[in-house]
Amino acid sequence: MAEPTQFLLTHRHLVELIIKDAGVHDGRWMLAVSFGLAPGNFGPSEDQLSPGAVVAINQIGIQRLVGDAAAPSSLVVDAALVNPARQAEKGVHKRRKEPQS
């Protein structure tokens, strides 16, 4: 059987994977993408240049929705549903003490 050469993910699936990898267990999250823009002159030859721009993806991550921020449900992932905390982890977080000064 042939080896796969490409894996494509939806926005939602990518957010779910990042939530799990980062160990996030609560909150509503959506994909965040940081773009870069570089202007220039582009064309096949010096005589056929045209002004243009290149858009680059600098970073991909997730951003927490705060309050009642509205966003399309197809783009928002609830971390508590896709990566629920185990019962033992919940207890550890509650018992953790703040560092003393």
Is it the case that residue 86 has pLDDT exceeding 90? no
Kindly report the CA angle at 53 between 50 and 56, in degrees rounded to 5?
150
pLDDT digit string, tens, across residues 21-36: 999 999 999 999 999 9
Strand 50-65 and strand 76-78: the pairing is: unpaired
For the entire predicted model, the pTM comes to 0.71
pLDDT of residue 6: 94
Is it the case that residue 57 has pLDDT exceeding 70? yes
